[in-house]
Amino acid sequence: MKKFNIPNYYRSSFIGEIKKARRVSDPRKKDFTPTTLNFGGLEVLVARHFGFCYGVENAIEISYKTLEENKGKRVFLLSQMIHNPAVNADLESKGIEFIMDTEGNHFMEFDELKSDDVVIIPAFGTTVEIEEILKAKGIQIEQYNTTCPFVERVWTASSKLGKNNSSVIIHGKPSHEETRATFSHAKEEAPSVVVKDMEEAVILGEIISGVRPITEFEDSFRHRASENFDPSRDFDKVGVINQTTMLAEETHAIAEHFKKVMIAKHGEEKLKEHFTDTRDTLCYATNDNQQATYALLEEPADFAIVVGGYNSSNTSHLVELCEEKLDTYFISGPEEIKEDGSIHHYNWRTGEHLITEAFLPVRRPLKMILTSGASCPDTVVDAVLDRIFDFVEVKRSREEVLLELA
């Protein structure tokens, strides 16, 4: 795996040693069991995989390198580099300006850009339409394109579907930057439509099979379908791709659902004429982090803390998994744990910011689960652990704990 040159203040020597020990003991990444850190009075179960992934480190490296190479020029990011407030705030403090927010609302118009401006494409990628606008202004986007290669792999899969005369069903959050970009690229090659979850997949399946009238497509999916999408024609053959940060389990289930719809409609012997299996579009890091979370949840614990940006899709899915088993607090950093012992956390389902008083159980010793999303710096996770130490008396030092991992 390539090593990236990112600022040292995103790396933690403590977390780094934990990850190093696991790489040594499990070089093929077959063991998803958590790392147990016994501090005496507090036992911390750390996920086997968490934190910065390949695509995120690549985007960060390019962003800081772009700033160094273009001193005196205006440097812009189309939107947030990654979904982490600490990283984006640091880039802003060094002079990068944002053109849009994560929903596509403009802080400035494209007309204000000049040909000698530098515009960085974020890790989520961007739409074909925006690429064409920037190129028309003479802005060189290729050199500063940080689109994750695993996102681009999804675009390649959609292109293959189009060449195979398949329509593209995209499993993703319709307003998410990556889904908007993937939809834009997919519709260049094939009729495309977005479904956000299994509930919508079932509705679409019933439209395809004729259980629901075809007019329901206009009501439910027209605003998420490519122009001139004809449900009476374009569902003859389909394949499923995804926003790379969705729950792997749900994407698999959605693909299987459409497979069964096609079998029921056309017969199993004709399945290959009507369904193309493309489930390998899942991001490896998303999959690893989710599998590591499943393994975490096999262990008994009192509560879980998941750290990451509140608009981070991959982080919200880790929270979703943990919430099924135990009290889970989704926080952006250590500052959300207050001096009075309360925790300010985020409800990813409703978008509400919540406060839980005295969130730490009284009994000792405590056992907690700790993990983070793919765009969260290790230093933030380390600082969250430090903050927990302010409320729980520990009897063993970090050095002692690390010796047990060697």
Distance in angstroms (rounded) separating the CA atoms of residues 120 and 68: 13
Q: Is position 178 annotated as part of the catalytic site?
A: yes
Distance in angstroms (rounded) separating the CA atoms of residues 202 and 261: 9
Token pair belonging to 249: 């389990």
- 250 burial via Cβ count (<10 Å: 0-12, 13-18, 19+): middle
Q: Is it true that the peptide bond before 365 is cis, omega within 30 degrees of 0?
A: yes
* Residue 197 one-letter amino acid: D
Q: By the 8 A CB rule, do 176 and 313 touch?
A: yes
Q: Of 314, 398, 371, nearest to 55 (Cα)?
A: 314
Q: By the 8 A CB rule, do 314 and 348 touch?
A: no
Q: Which residues pair with 329 in a beta bridge?
A: 305
* SS3 assignment, position 46: strand
Out of 131, 178, 200, 336, pick the active-site residue: 178
- 240 burial via Cβ count (<10 Å: 0-12, 13-18, 19+): buried
Catalogue the active-site residues: 178
